[in-house]
Amino acid sequence: MNERLLTFERITKRFGGTTALRGVSLHLDAGEVLALLGENGAGKSTLIKGLAGIHIPDEGRILFKGETYVHRPPKPNEKQRVAFIHQDLGLVEWMSVAENVGLAQGFSMKGPAIDWPGTEARAVAALA
């Protein structure tokens, strides 16, 4: 039996008078692949943004490995526990992968200059 990795319990999210999510529950076990399907406006992105800390559920809770999950930015040299890729990527096409990751997590610096080898090493570690 696989470990329960992620649980959404009765998640409700409202924006003013609009209820975007009403009592949504689902779980994901380690090694499992889950797809969220639905029409435009069905709440797929809203649910995932709750996991990312962008939207805080009005009701319900999110569990990660059985513990209440609250998104927080990682400390330096700490792996992100949960991450996701936005549907609108916002990548800079002419930049390398390391440079794009550096934009998201901050560049390694040597004094006032960007430490490119350090930035690349951090990007590789973040993607590992």
Spell out the domains of the chain, with CATH numbers in brackets: 4-68 (3.40.50.300), 97-127 (no CATH)
Per-residue pLDDT band for 6 (boundaries 50, 70, 90) equals very high
Predicted confidence at residue 50, as pLDDT, reads 87
Query: Could you give the count of Cα atoms lying within 13 Å of 88 in the half-sphere of its Cβ?
Result: 1
Quote the mean pLDDT of the chain.
84
pTM of the model: 0.63
The Cα 98–Cα 83 span in angstroms is 17
Give the pLDDT confidence of 40-88 residue by residue, as tens digits. Answer: 889 998 998 888 888 899 999 999 999 998 877 767 776 666 666 666 6
The Cα 42–Cα 39 span in angstroms is 5
The Cα 69–Cα 52 span in angstroms is 10
